[in-house]
Chain A
Amino acid sequence: MHARLIHRFLQCLLVAFCLVVTLFATDLRAADDLRAMINALGGGSFQESQKQVEALAKTGDPKIVPALEALSEGDLYQRKADGTVFIVKPAGSNFKLTDALTGDAAGEEAKAALEKVKVNNGLRRVIRAALGGLTLMSPDAGVRLQAASTILRTPSADALEGLDAALAAETDGTVKAVLEKALAASVLVSDRPVDEKKAAIATVVQTGGRDSLSLLSGALLSADESLRPDIEVGIKKIEDQLALWAAGQNIWYGLSLGSVLLLAAIGLAITFGVMGIINMAHGEMVMLGAYTTFVVQQIIRDSYPALFDWSLAIALPLAFLVTGAVGLVMERGIIRFLYGRPLETLLATWGVSLILQQAVRSIFGPTNQEVGNPSWMSGAFDLGGLTITWNRMWIIVFSLAVFGFLLFLLKKTPMGLQMRAVTQNRRMASSMGIRTPWVDALTFALGSGIAGIAGVALSQIDNVSPNLGQGYIIDSFMVVVFGGVGNLWGTLVGAFTLGILNKVLEPYAGAVLGKILVLVLIILFIQKRPRGLFALKGRAVEA
């Protein structure tokens, strides 16, 4: 009895042991296979790598996700000595290695001992599709949503099975909606039956937007005869929607261009508009503002990287002070001797502009400097059918804020009152005890300072090079003259009118002809109304 029990027990033990061993072995073999497949990513041509990635995706094993992500980021390297592939992170002159499958640290290696696993666009596309399929069943809803959106953008018949399974198991409403769209898109490119495709077309049409249009146009090229009318009607419907949004988009672009013009011109509206100084160095003030931003970002990058998102806020007052100071020196040193002599002022300020350009070129070099966009200035969001980029939106907001600030300063503060008094009737103002030379200097410094903070904003969308200012000087004068010299509201209306006019013409006439047309229109307008949109009336004009 006792012996039988022991025998049974031993038998059980043996069976269990065998089971464990076989399980362990298959697991090991699977891991070995995966490792071999991942190692095979290195060294081959892009076509071979693509096949490897597709084969890896077929295993459906989530363990390969980190390796594929690293490959698409260009962080996957192969050790030259034994051909093993690792995920690497640069650490000084070495690379820190991480095991591609387990994620364990695997020591360090000199850069020269490793060779990068090369990746190109085609390979990245394949990886993106593979990752979409692999992460569909992830426990994290955010990851699932991303996977579903990826498949929606790159639909393929291969993804159908996974999508069906995922859709059945999905509980989250948002993810489910995207999954349904992705499924419809994938059905459209697959060889499923016609009625299923018809339903899919309806879903795609309902989704709308540029991507759906692209999908339908693609499907039309190879569609079954019975599906054609459906697709064509769908395309027509989406195109009509898009055409409506396109008009709105043009207006938005116009507002955006207008805000840039406003920013560039608003400083000039003070120095030229209010004071009557033809300031050819205005563009260079904008440039100095942009370089201040660059210097601030450099310091932040080197010493306080955490503050990077605040770099523009820090650069703003500094740019105002720097360019304001330059403006003050210019007015005291040169311009005050030339009041009432526009030609000499023009030549002198033009000379200053050349000196400033060359000075910046000598200090910082002639090449473009990199000014980064803080995270809140990067990317875009969709508003209906409009794509609105964050940097453009903030620049519109910023330009209006600067305008409001300036208006307040001129209309509601004692300093603004003195400025207006001096520019309208210098002798009278002087008799009232206003120190006119001092007010002149401050007004010019204010105009220059405003140009400087415009430079901070423009550094976000344009080159930061010594030539930055030259691109804006003509446009600035155009806006101020068009809007009416001496009137801030004129500058505002002028800037937005020119911006929208330019952007409405551009799709029809092209960028080059559009610009010429705008110029011609302005010339005709100035012929009719030499004092611009909002002409100053009264004695001040004649003075």
Chain B
Amino acid sequence: MSINARATGALLAAILSTTAFHGAFAADDTIKVGILHSLSGTMAISETTLKDAMLMLIEEQNKKGGLLGKKLEAVVVDPASDWPLFAEKARELVSVNKVSAVFGCWTSVSRKSVLPVFEELNSVLFYPVQYEGEESQRNVFYTGAAPNQQAIPAVDYLAENEGVERWVLAGTDYVYPRTTNKILEAYLISKGVKPEDIMINYTPFGHSDWQTIVSDIKKFGSAGKKTAVVSTINGDANVPFYKELGNQGVKAEDIPVVAFSVGEEELAGLDTTPLVGHLAAWNYFQSVDNPANAEFIKTWKAFTKNDKRVTNDPMEAHYIGFNMWLKAVEKAGTTDTDAVLDAMIGVSVPNLSGGYSTMMPNHHITKPVLIGEIQADGQFETVWETPGLVVGDEWSDFLPDSKDLIADWRKPLECGNFNVATGKCGGKGS
């Protein structure tokens, strides 16, 4: 970063903090936590839940006495599903409201939009959603799944347990599905799948007319080999997609669909009877049976005062991220960014699927991978899980230009894209 940018940033921060001195007063007796999730616009459907989950976690922590003897205070802003606005709101949270950490973002494009802000202002972001990988940033902790914690185990499951030999990779047309499908394609070909047995299909955001694509899938599936669909279709488009599958009679027993973006929340708007048996790969399901999860679900239902509310994987990611942050702050004895960044690595907290998750030096965490089948009541039933925990792999081993890269934020390396082949920091993405 140039000195100029730093000076401008400081100047801007100074101006902002004088105009908004209101925020500075309260700073002494509480620790502030920023929540950066869209409460309006397209992504509100998914992100509002995460905002509520964070408010609940903060409330619960305050009941237990807060952090470092101070109460936690949530600062909620609404970036309105508008990607550039994410950067502005992030700047507002850090510079004006002086938050100690920010929990937020959903889409990859919103994360990319705030990255320079967190780097410039040196603050901490916890990102809770499964994403395409190919990134590791000093100020960001990725508590969602990297492709090797979701996509690759799911494909392995289908190949081994269902004997799938032909693959449809269907996704929404943006960075996460495109990168994930690139990784999956390379992985499948490395496993001996022929290129003509892979069909890749992209659709626009909010696509609602799936007739042609579903009939294409049926056509592709009638080549005499067992076929499966790997879906990275995101958000709203899933409901009409599944409705069309159900209506055209594509049964999970014939052509199973495994989805990476469909959780309990997405199924809540859907009659799931025709979908029983279709799959999803996540690191957490509401149906996971253990005391910690039962407690979490109970607290969530009480907090939202709604007995029908469901929990989902990104909520669990926030639960893990928030507890990790608490532990790191306690360990460091301060909320100062540099101290917290150092203390975070190696922190281990219980997750909700019955084990412990640890923050790795690459700022990704260890998680179990679960494959679940959709049930008639809109929940998932775990049919397979990895025997142990899987470490998030930020730079995919299956892409030619990132297979030599690693990230390690411990001293003395402190690099997010270290190239082991050349021995230099600063490969792709610098």
Contacts and interface: CB of A to CB of B under 8 A. Distances in A.
Contacts of B254: 153
B296 interface: no
A380 B244 CA distance: 10
A372 interface: yes
A464 interface: yes
Given A122-B161, A373-B271, A392-B211, A471 B248 contact: no
A217 B42 contact: no
Nearest to A257: B209
Contacts of B236: 368, 463, 465, 467
A389 B201 contact: no
Nearest to B378: A370
A368 B45 contact: yes
Contacts, number: 155
Contacts of B156: none
A503 B213 CA distance: 10
B270 A506 contact: no
A512 B209 CA distance: 12
A218 B216 CA distance: 18
B153 interface: no
B26 to A, nearest CB: 28
Contact of B239 (A116, A246, A462): A462
A340 interface: no
B111 interface: no
Interface in A374-416: 378-380, 387, 389-392
A122 B204 CA distance: 33
B208 A462 contact: yes
Sorted from nearest, which 5 A-B pairs have the closest CB atoms? A368-B269, A218-B224, A217-B224, A214-B222, A389-B247
B277 A367 contact: no
A491 to B, nearest CB: 19
Interface string B164-207: 00000000010000000000000000000000000001111011
A214 B246 CA distance: 20
Contact of B222 (A213, A219, A357): A213
B44 interface: yes
A124 B211 contact: no
Contact of B223 (A214, A358, A467): A214
B420 to A, nearest CB: 37
A292 B218 CA distance: 35
21 contacts: A118-B381, A121-B256, A124-B253, A210-B218, A214-B221, A214-B223, A217-B225, A221-B224, A250-B212, A256-B209, A358-B40, A367-B45, A367-B268, A367-B269, A370-B271, A372-B271, A379-B249, A389-B248, A391-B243, A467-B41, A467-B45
B150 to A, nearest CB: 19
Nearest to B382: A118
Contacts of B42: 467, 470
Given A218-B225, A390-B247, 4 more contacts: A74-B375, A124-B252, A213-B222, A464-B269
B265 A367 contact: yes
B346 interface: no
Nearest to B201: A510
A220 B40 contact: no
A217 B222 contact: yes
B44 A366 contact: yes
A536 B39 CA distance: 44
A77 B264 CA distance: 23
A111 interface: no
B113 interface: no
Interface in A35-75: 46, 74
B45 A378 contact: no
A368 B162 contact: no
Given A368-B239, A512-B173, A471 B224 contact: no
B240 A463 contact: yes
B224 A121 contact: no
B373 interface: yes
A368 B277 contact: no
A481 interface: no
Contacts of A370: 268-271
Contacts of B381: 74, 116, 118
B45 A74 contact: no
A379 B274 CA distance: 10
Given A214-B224, A463-B269, A512 B243 contact: no
B270 A368 contact: yes
A375 B256 CA distance: 24
A464 B239 CA distance: 9
Contacts of A387: 215, 248-249
B92 interface: no
A121 B218 CA distance: 18
A349 B286 CA distance: 42
A226 interface: no
B411 interface: no
Contacts of B216: 507
B311 to A, nearest CB: 13
The winner among A211, A368, A503 for most chain B CB atoms within 10 A is A368
A93 interface: no
B17 interface: no
A122 B256 CA distance: 10
B82 interface: no
Contacts of B59: none
Contacts of A118: 381, 383
A379 B161 CA distance: 29
A461 B277 contact: no
B376 interface: yes
Given A373-B271, A461-B208, A462-B208, A220 B224 contact: yes
Contacts of B375: 74
Interface in B245-264: 246-249, 252-254, 256
A128 interface: yes
A299 interface: no
A366 B45 contact: yes
Nearest to B216: A507
B219 interface: yes
Contacts of A378: 246-247, 274
A217 B223 contact: yes
Given A358-B40, A368-B236, A125 B266 contact: no
Contacts of A512: 173, 202-204
B366 to A, nearest CB: 25
Nearest to A250: B212
A298 interface: no
B40 A380 contact: no
A515 interface: yes
A110 interface: no
A187 B224 CA distance: 16
The winner among A121, A392, A461 for most chain B CB atoms within 10 A is A121
The winner among A217, A365, A463 for most chain B CB atoms within 10 A is A463
